C-alpha cells in the first residue's frame, strides 16, 4: 500500500514537473522577442559554451572516428568490402553518432554548469536581488543561455563530425594506404542532403533542450547549497533522457518523410 502511494506520488510529481517545464519554455519564447535584447551577454555565453567546449568535442570526435573504423574494418575485410568503409563511417557519424555523442558531452559539461551557476545564484539570493533592482533576471540569465546553447551545439557537432571523419581517415591511411583525397571523395559521394538536413535540424533541438533543462533546474533551485549539486546532477540526467527522446522522434519522422 505504501509502495503504491509512493509510486502514485512520483508519477504526479513527474507530470507536475513536465507542466512546469512547458510553462518555463513558453516564458522563454515570450521573453525572447521582447526588449531589451542582451546581445553582449549572449555573445559572452556563446564564447563560454562554444569555445571552451571545443577541445573536448574535438578529442571525443577524433577518438570516435578511430574506434569506429578499427572495430568495423575486420568485419568488412571478411567480405572484401573495405572500399565501403568511408561511406559507412561517414553516414553513421553524420546521421547519428556525431550529433548524439556531442550533445551528451555538452549536456554533461554545459548543462551541469548552467544548473550549478544559476542554482548558486538562486540560493545566494542574487536572482532575487536582480528582481528587486528592476532587472529582468529571466531575460538576462535564461534567455541568453538557452539561445547560446541552441546556436552553439550545431557548430560543435560540425567540428566533432569533421574530427571523427579525420580520425577514420588516419586508420584507413595507415592500414589501407588510402589517400586523403580518395577517402573524402568517397565520403562526399556517400553523404546526401537527406542525411545532412535532418541531422542538422535536430542538433538545434538538442541545444535548446540542454539550455532549457539546465536553466530550469538552476533557476528553481531549492534546499540551499545542497540543492546546487542536485540541480547540476538532475540537469544532466533529465537532459540526457530528453536528448534520446528527441533523437528517437527525429529518426522516426525522417524515416517516414525522407
Domain range list for the chain: 39-257
pLDDT at 1 > cutoff 70? no
Residue 161: per-residue pLDDT: 95
Q: How far apart are CA 225 and CA 211, in angstroms?
A: 21
Tell me if 90 sits within 8 A of 189, measured CB to CB: no
- The mean pLDDT of the chain is 89
- Residue 89's SS3 state is helix
Alpha helices in the chain (DSSP H): 2-32, 39-46, 52-78, 85-92, 98-106, 112-123, 126-132, 137, 144-176, 180-190, 193-219, 224-257
Question: What are the tens digits of pLDDT across the range 202-255?
Answer: 999 999 999 999 999 999 888 777 888 888 898 999 999 999 999 999 999 988
Mean pLDDT of 103-113: 92
> Which residue in 156, 160, 158 sits closest to 63, CA to CA?
160
Q: Any idea which residue has 539561445 for its cell?
A: 147
Beta-carbon contacts of residue 106 (< 8 Å; ≥ 6 apart): 49, 53, 57, 149, 153, 156, 206, 207, 210
Residue 42: per-residue pLDDT: 92
The CA-based angle 143-144-147, given to 5 degrees, is: 80
Residue 36: asked if its preceding bond is cis (omega within 30°), the reply is yes
> Which residue in 157, 170, 165 sits closest to 190, CA to CA?
165
Q: How far apart are CA 160 and CA 200, in angstroms?
A: 13
Listed ranges 57-66, 167-176, 189-198; the one with the highest mean pLDDT: 57-66
pLDDT at 166 > cutoff 90? yes
Tell me if 190 sits within 8 A of 137, measured CB to CB: no
Q: What is the pTM of this model?
A: 0.92
pLDDT at 258 > cutoff 70? no
Mean pLDDT of 103-127: 90
> Which residue in 85, 39, 61, 41 sits closest to 159, CA to CA?
61
Mean pLDDT of 18-33: 89
**Grid cell at residue 173:** 591511411
- Residue 60's SS3 state is helix
Q: How far apart are CA 1 and CA 167, in angstroms?
A: 56
Mean pLDDT of 29-54: 89
Amino acid at each position: 500500500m505504501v509502495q503504491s502511494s509512493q509510486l502514485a506520488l512520483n508519477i504526479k510529481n513527474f507530470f507536475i514537473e513536465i507542466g512546469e517545464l512547458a510553462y518555463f519554455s513558453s516564458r522563454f519564447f515570450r521573453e525572447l522577442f521582447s526588449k531589451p535584447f542582451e546581445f553582449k551577454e549572449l555573445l559572452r555565453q556563446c564564447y563560454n559554451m562554444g569555445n571552451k567546449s571545443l577541445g573536448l568535442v574535438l578529442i571525443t570526435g577524433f577518438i570516435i572516428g578511430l574506434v569506429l573504423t578499427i572495430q568495423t574494418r575486420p568485419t568488412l575485410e571478411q567480405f572484401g568490402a573495405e572500399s565501403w568503409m568511408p561511406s559507412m563511417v561517414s553516414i553513421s557519424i553524420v546521421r547519428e553518432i556525431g550529433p548524439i555523442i556531442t550533445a551528451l558531452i555538452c549536456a554533461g559539461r554545459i548543462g551541469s554548469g548552467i544548473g550549478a551557476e544559476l542554482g548558486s545564484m538562486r540560493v545566494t539570493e542574487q536572482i532575487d536581488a536582480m528582481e528587486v533592482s528592476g532587472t529582468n533576471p529571466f531575460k538576462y540569465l535564461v534567455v541568453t543561455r538557452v539561445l547560446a546553447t541552441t546556436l552553439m551545439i550545431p557548430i560543435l557537432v560540425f567540428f566533432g563530425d569533421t574530427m571523427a571523419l579525420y580520425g577514420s581517415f588516419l586508420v584507413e591511411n595507415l592500414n589501407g594506404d588510402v589517400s586523403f583525397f580518395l577517402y573524402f571523395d568517397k565520403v562526399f559521394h556517400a553523404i546526401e542532403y537527406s542525411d545532412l538536413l535532418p541531422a542538422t535540424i535536430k542538433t538545434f533541438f538538442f541545444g535548446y533542450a540542454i539550455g532549457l533543462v539546465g536553466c530550469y533546474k538552476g533557476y528553481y533551485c531549492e534546499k540551499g547549497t545542497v540543492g546546487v549539486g542536485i540541480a547540476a546532477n538532475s540537469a544532466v540526467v533529465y537532459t540526457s533522457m530528453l536528448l534520446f527522446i528527441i533523437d528517437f522522434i527525429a529518426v522516426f519522422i525522417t524515416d517516414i518523410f525522407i
